[in-house]
Every structure is written in C-alpha cells, then in structure tokens.
Amino acid sequence: MFDKKPFVIGMVHCRPLPGSEKYEKGSFKNVIKKAIEEAKILEDNGIDGIQIENMWDRPYRKGKDIGYETVASLAVVANEVKHAVNVPIGINCHLNGGLQALAVAVAVEAQWIRVFAWVNAYISNAGLIEGIASDVLRYRKILQADDQVKILADIKVKHGSHFIVNDRSLVEHAKDAEEYLADAIIVTGSETGSAPSSDEVKQVKEAVKVPVFIGSGLTAENVCQFLPYIDGCIVGSYFKRDGKWYNEMDPSRVRNFMKIINEFRKNS
C-alpha cells in the first residue's frame, strides 16, 4: 500500500462533529468545507496520503461510548474528502474507536486506520484504554476487508500514562503489536507535537519486520535524523501555522517538509 518511502501522511483534523460538546448547530457544511480545504492543501503540496480524524471532538469518549452520529458524520466527511483528492486516505476515530474507524474505512474505501491501543493498555484523560486487536481483526474479517484496510497500531501512544505497563520496554510493546498482527507500528512522543527519540525509533525498527511510522513531533528541522529508520510518518501539528494543531494549514510548511523528503528519496 505504501508505495513511497517514507510514506508521508498529512492530517485533516475535522472541526467538531455532531454530538460533540463544541459542535454548533448548522455548522456541518462548514466542517466538510474545511476538511476538503485542508486535504487539497496537503495534496497540492506533495503529501502522499491523508488521514481524517475527529480531532476537535474533545473531550473524547472511549471506544464503546462513541455515538452513532460520530461514525455517520466522520464517514460523510471522509467520503467528501476522498472524492476531492487523488491520494489514499485513512481514518482515525478518537478515542481508540478502532471498530468505528474500520466501519468508516470500509464504507468510504479508505486504506488504513490508526489504533491508539492495539495491545496492552494505558490511562488516558478519558480513563483506562485497553487493547482492541482481537475485536478489530475479527470485525475486519466479518467485513471482508483484510485486503483493503491496514492497521497502523500505536505503541505506548502519546497523551497518556503508561505506568501500568512500565515494566515492558518500547521494543517489547512493538513485538506485542507485531505478534497481534498489526500491519505497521507507530512510535510517538509523550504528547501531540512531541517527537520520540531517534534511538527509540531505531531500536523498534531493528526489532520488528513490519513497517515503522513516527506518529508525532516531526518537523522540517528534525526529520532527517529519523529518515534512515522509518517507513512512514504521520504529520499534523507541524503543517499548521506556528506548529499548533488547532491553527490553519500552512502550505509553506507542507512544501518545505516534502522537499526534504523528496531529496532523501532521490539520494537513497
């Protein structure tokens, strides 16, 4: 699926969807408009793929509590984005809504989903988040989507406490995710916009056979130190003005980042 290396995924952060605390009545058309606008900026400036997620639906609900309206709305937005661009798309549904993301992905013919807790568990602001690998894999089988939708699984994901599994190293978590049939592994920093260490990424890459992605904190200034060890990356905050995820998209940041990526590809 990821025909370029590293495969760069840009983020479309959907504005508040129906059912979320910050959704404003009558604003859904604008949600779609902004998502398409961001997606086109990413595509026009050389991005390889686009991930669509309900980033603005804070405070997040845990997977089992995510409403039908969220799934329906996310599917509508994703479908509109898919028909507006010519790059692959993926889906992420907060918080750890792997089943919901998979349902959307199958409906709109997306090519991957991101799952924050694929194996093991962590404590988020919403409470205990447990691994859902078995449920998602079975659901993917039921939907006959094994060949369509790949699983990008985080290990010790950002914005959470992992003290309850702190006796296991990052590499052990990566091997757990691989053993539980993740199609790719995502390494992140401690929060949105923060990067992991290059040594950690290198260790994970050497320990597993599946592709390794970085899921937070990459910038034009630090990406080069990671390029020898990654198969892809997911970039959100850096592509926004001043590097803040909630700001407007900054085309120059996307363009400068992809210039570095393309130069690396050319010389590899």
Average pLDDT across each block of 10 residues of the chain; the chain has 268 residues. List them in order: 91 98 97 98 98 97 96 98 98 98 98 97 94 98 97 91 91 97 92 82 97 96 96 97 96 98 95
Tell me which DSSP letter residue 118 carries: S
Angle made by CA atoms 30, 11, 186, in degrees to the nearest 5: 150
Q: What is the CATH number of domain 7-267?
A: 3.20.20.70
Give CA–CA dist 241/143, Å, rounded. 39
Q: How many CA atoms lie within 13 A of 60 on its CB side?
A: 21
Please report, for the chain, the start and end positions of each structural domain, with discontinuous segments joined by +.
Answer: 7-267
pLDDT of the residue at 193: 64
Tell me which DSSP letter residue 69 carries: H
pTM of the entire structure?
0.96
Whose CA is closest to 179, among 168, 188, 191? Answer: 168
Contacts 24+ apart (CB under 8 A), 102-106: 102/136, 102/139, 102/140, 102/143, 102/145, 102/149, 103/71, 103/75, 103/139, 103/143, 104/71, 104/74, 104/75, 104/78, 105/78, 105/145, 105/148, 105/149, 106/143, 106/145, 106/148, 106/149
pLDDT of the residue at 192: 66
